[in-house]
Amino acid sequence: MGSSTTSSASTSPAHRPAIPEIPVLGFDVVEFWVGNAKQAAHYYHHAFGFDIVAYQGPETGHRQTSSYMLRQQDICLRFTSALSPDHPVSEHVKAHGDGVKDIGFRIADVQEAYAMATDRGAKGLCAPSTEQDAHGSLTKATIATYGQTTHTFVNRQNYSGAFEPGFTPYQQATPARPTGLVRVDHVVGNLGQGELPQWVDFYETVFGFFVFRDYDETDISTDYSALISKVMANASLTIKMPLNAPAQSKGGKKSQIQEFVDYYGCPGVQHLALITSNIVETVAELRHRNVELMAVPKNYYAHVEERVGAILEPLDRLAELGIIVDLEEGEEPDSEAVQDYMLQIFTLPLQDRPTFFFEIIQRAGATGFGKGNFKALFEAIERDQAKRGNL
Ligand code: FE2
């Protein structure tokens, strides 16, 4: 990690809460509540290369919902739909569209974690319970977080079945063709105006997490969109969760965070950042499969070298694929010695409402979240706009 000087964040022990952290081993399953889980599973299988590993529904004795469990390396996604209009999943989809309902946390002692969380003020939704079948047992508990989103604590150590008791292995017509995605890097929540302090406090006082990075509107602001963001993390950095809230842009335009909250109907998960070890190959494959990716103005690349200095990937290939680059915060670009940097790209929203999307990210040493890219992208758009005489 470089010597970050631009951010007001600190990882020093003095800034960490004095309470013991709830020991979270890492992200577990991310569950989506959607209108049509069957089609969603098919889409994420073919477009992004996830294996459909397990299924639960009427055929397995589950009368109310259908649920598909998808996996690529360490990334586990679950898609659930209800089979009747008055089911909570249907109500949720009606209000919010397709979206993330639950961010799972892998935890060794679910009982202890749930007791710690609820003792510290978290709203408990499902007390710890253990389910068993011939493949072993699995313990889960759920608490509420921002908006309608929840965190489920899971211990899978004593379970060897397809996914969870009640699920059956899914017979895929074709095995997945992976796209090189390996694990979840971070999960981003969008909050309403003025709601950031309360949720920072929640992750500090309930989980014992700390503010890993802190961005104010001077860091992430253009004439068109402004936001403030704090990245909540656990000490081992296996959990990183940026929390965004709208800020007033210089031009008085609506923040993209507010647009999300308006369409989703409440705070919710804006994006999941997925790690690849070779973003050039991953993005080439995603483009080949017609995954819609955010367009990058060509003139963005005219300024990349002066922003980040030398990098290992050929710049013309990055430009061809629309991959963007950011130097580690606080480091100076060097035209010869490669510094810590990161490569990233964003999909367009993955459902009709302009809400949830994926980020694909490759970290070449950098630990940040692409702050420089936000500015560089919008400046490039504004340069194009100025050329057309519209700025
Ligand atoms: Fe991100």
State whether 231 and 103 are in the same domain: no
State whether 126 and 267 are in the same domain: no
316 Cα: distance to centroid of ligand 1 (angstroms): 24
Query: Per residue in 265-303, pLDDT tens?
Result: 999 999 999 999 999 999 999 999 999 998 888 888 988
Nearest residue to 205 via CA among 1, 19, 23, 387: 19
State whether 139 and 219 are in the same domain: no
| Residue 71 within any structural domain of the chain | yes
**Domain stop point among 144, 169, 194:** 169
Residue 372, class by beta-carbon neighbours within 10 Å (0-12 exposed, 13-18 middle, 19+ buried)? buried
pLDDT score at 381: 67
Say yes or no to pLDDT of 223 above 80: no
**Domain stop point among 105, 134, 169:** 169
| Residue 310 within any structural domain of the chain | yes
pLDDT score at 1: 34
State whether 54 and 144 are in the same domain: yes
**How many Å apart are CA 279 and CA 273, to the nearest integer?**
13
Nearest residue to 292 via CA among 377, 353, 351: 351
State whether 114 and 262 are in the same domain: no
State whether 150 and 195 are in the same domain: no
pLDDT score at 7: 41
| Residue 7 within any structural domain of the chain | no
**How many Å apart are CA 308 and CA 337, to the nearest integer?**
11
135 Cα: distance to centroid of ligand 1 (angstroms): 37
**Domain stop point among 146, 169, 192:** 169
**How many Å apart are CA 359 and CA 186, to the nearest integer?**
9
294 Cα: distance to centroid of ligand 1 (angstroms): 14
Hey, which of 181-195, 217-231, 303-317 has the most confident mean pLDDT? 181-195
Query: Among the listed ranges 170-174, 346-350, 373-377, which one has the minimum average pLDDT value?
Result: 373-377
155 Cα: distance to centroid of ligand 1 (angstroms): 27
State whether 291 and 148 are in the same domain: no
Q: How many whole angstroms from its chain centre is CA 267?
A: 14
Confidence of residue 224 (pLDDT cuts 50, 70, 90): low
State whether 113 and 187 are in the same domain: no
Specify the number of domains making up the chain: 2
79 Cα: distance to centroid of ligand 1 (angstroms): 22
Q: Provide mean pLDDT across the span 62-71.
A: 97
Domain of residue 72 covers 24-169
pLDDT score at 17: 58
pLDDT score at 49: 98
Give pTM, 2 decimals: 0.92
pLDDT score at 15: 60
The CATH number for 301's domain is 3.10.180.10
219 Cα: distance to centroid of ligand 1 (angstroms): 15
369 Cα: distance to centroid of ligand 1 (angstroms): 6
State whether 379 and 251 are in the same domain: yes
More confident residue, 259 or 220: 259
The residue count of the chain comes to 391
Confidence of residue 127 (pLDDT cuts 50, 70, 90): very high
Query: Per residue in 130-177, pLDDT tens?
Result: 999 999 999 999 999 999 999 999 999 999 999 999 999 999 989 999
| Residue 302 within any structural domain of the chain | yes
Say yes or no to pLDDT of 210 above 80: yes
| Residue 1 within any structural domain of the chain | no
Say yes or no to pLDDT of 2 above 70: no
191 Cα: distance to centroid of ligand 1 (angstroms): 15
